Amino acid sequence: MSIEVKNLTHTYSAGSALQSTAVQDVNLTIEEGEFVAIVGHTGSGKSTLVQHLNGLLKPTSGQVLVDGEDMNGEKVVKRLIRQKVGLVFQYPEYQLFEETVAKDIAFGPKNQGLSEEEIDRRVRKAMAHVHLDYDKYAERSPFELSGGQMRRVAIAGVLAMEPRYLILDEPAAGLDPKGRDRILGMVKDLHAAGVTVVMVSHSMDDCARLATRMIVMSKGTVVASDTPRKLFSQPEMMASVGLGVPEAAKLCQLLREKGVDLPADLYTQEELHEHLLRLWKEVHSA
């Protein structure tokens, strides 16, 4: 099971004076079970790319295949494929509209024609996933909640469709540190529960904490696809496309330049702490 992107090109306003190619000849595969972070400078094509993954945009040329089915094939029922691929936009809380939290989350399953019993099960399950107590929040207006809670309601609405693949465009954008940690922790838990996750992010530290693979984009093309460890050990390449590396990787490099014996590919705070603690113990036990 996978999402395959083959020779994907998307041009906005094709044939006009405003013509602009946002994605150019992109090829990639998202395997089931992965946590893939898509990174790149502003305008690199990240958001355009992910909007093709559930058929929101139609390619100018190329294909997107979900579990072997061409998203834009003549005989494909796009609505059924979209049930497999949930897309959470940046600032999804702006799309809330129902009078209660439960009704908003139930909107998608209800449109699928599911039974009331199944809808209720999905709403309760989705609320549990985003850490919103059903008895406390189900009958409240979503517009009475905090910004972080509203975002969790919006994400729950996508989860209620029980997608196999979850696509998130900057899910923690605009939140305070506590709200960011809650949202990203929730996404981590969903991946651990078996959901394949694709996340657009500007934060290299978030990618370091969560991703099993990273796709680096620049000027509408994929310039690298590899593990965070391998990519973050190439700071010059990352800098060439306007990206940095996690703070732990920066500190590791500074310490190495000062003569501290550390591996060149450390990139998480946990790894750096472990190695520094080991060195400290070696010095004090000598």
Q: Which amino acid is at 272?
A: L
Beta bridge partners of 64: 5
> What pLDDT does 282 receive?
83
Helices 147-159 and 177-192, packing angle to 10 deg: 20
- Reported pTM: 0.91
The residue assigned the tokens 């309760």 is 124
> What pLDDT does 78 receive?
76
The residue count of the chain comes to: 286
Cα separations in angstroms, 206 against 45, 48, 144, 226: 20, 21, 29, 16
* Residues with pLDDT less than 50, the chain: none
Q: Where are the domains of the chain?
A: 2-238, 246-286
> What pLDDT does 232 receive?
95
Measure the CA–CA gap between 85 and 82, rounded to whole angstroms.
Answer: 5
> What pLDDT does 7 receive?
98
Q: Do residues 103 and 137 touch, judged by C-beta distance below 8 A?
A: no
> What pLDDT does 26 receive?
98
User: Nearest to residue 45, comparing CAs of 65, 67, 60?
Assistant: 60
243-273 pLDDT per residue, tens: 999 999 999 989 999 998 898 888 988 999 9
* Fold type of domain 2-238: Rossmann fold (3.40.50)
Task: Provide the token pair at 28.
Answer: 């990639």
Angle at 242 between CA 238 and CA 246, to 5 degrees: 55
Alpha-carbon dihedral sign for residues 178, 95, 136, 126: negative
